[in-house]
Amino acid sequence: MRAVVQRVSRAAVRIRGEIRGAIGSGLLVLAGVETGDTPEAADWLAAKIARLRIFSDDAGLMNRSVQEIGGGLLVVSQFTLLASSRKGNRPSFDRAARPPEAIPLYEQFLRDLARHSGIPIATGEFGADMQVELVNDGPVTLLIDTRLRE
């Protein structure tokens, strides 16, 4: 699995013009499932994100997690994170898992993230055409890949 994690002061996802999920200060997570990903990968990624210390403490150092600041979590599925632009100018999405494989792992990731963080998870809708609005705080943006464990 691959995730782009952004520290935000606010974020929302809209589907057909209506807000589906929204948070104030917290983390926006764009998550993609790769062919061959496992439930263990989903759990590892969820635990890593829940424990990330990327919010400022009283000394201005990135030392607090999303739970410690009372923040929110918004997760949006995004298969394009698995794109390859190695050949030509049109990206290939061959590495992205197809819905029958991706949906159960994405849903497992949501459950794991809620369990590890103790925070209700706001979401978009898997496979929907969505518009994501965010104010990146910092900016702080991390790329986490379960296959690289970083």
Write out the catalytic residue numbers.
78-80
> Residue 32: is it exposed, middle or buried by C-beta count within 10 angstroms (0-12/13-18/19+)?
buried
Pairing state of beta strands 55-56 and 62-64? Answer: antiparallel
Give the amino acid at 113. Answer: L
Contact 110/121 with Cβ under 8 angstroms?
yes
Locate 36 and state its tokens. 């061959």
Strand stretches in the chain, DSSP E: 2-15, 18-23, 26-32, 55-56, 62-64, 72-77, 121-123, 130-145
**Is 52 strand, coil or helix?**
coil
